[in-house]
Amino acid sequence: MKNMLLKQTRLTHIPHFGLVTLALSLFLGFFGLTTAGLAQNSSPNPGLPVIELKTGIYRLQVEVAATPQARQTGLMYRTVMAQNAGMLFIFEQKAGHCFWMSNTKIPLSIAFIGDDSKIVNIEEMQADTTNNHCPKAPIRFALEMNQKWFAERALGPGTLIQGLPKN
């Protein structure tokens, strides 16, 4: 309580211009911290490359998880993702790569994509669960988007995903 009174007393002795500057500094500092926190949860991981993919009329900005560490972390701990944003997982070998949602805070849809760039199957995944979601055929690519993203656009098995890296 004494510290609060002391701070109040100090403020009353600051000239009017000083109060305005102080208020503006506090506001900008709070706003900066708030937007930094939001950006951390909603914007792409700055350490991962971002590429554009296309499917039909839709253009997607997706982070590329091509290393074991990036694939393991995926979209964990994020709380929001932009509408046409996602994460593309690239594996070295074609196999039945399964996914789960441990520590992933947003529900997602995952499209498993074959070497022919066509969707093999799509799975809906609930946030923070450990159920396995697997492709119906061996794949090297998997694309995570916000839950129901594919269904809301009537995209399903056989849909072509353009812009996948060659290799």
158 exposure class (CB count in 10 Å sphere: 0-12, 13-18, 19+): exposed
Q: Which fold has domain 50-152?
A: Jelly Rolls (2.60.120)
pLDDT value, residue 156: 98
Q: Convert the pLDDT of each residue in 19-51 to its tens digit.
A: 344 343 444 343 333 333 333 344 445 689 999
Give the start-to-end residue ranges of the domains of the chain.
Answer: 2-42, 50-152
pLDDT value, residue 151: 98
What pTM value is reported for the model? 0.74
Q: Convert the pLDDT of each residue in 114-140 to its tens digit.
A: 999 999 999 999 999 999 999 999 999
Query: What sign does the CA torsion over 39, 50, 113, 132 have?
Result: negative
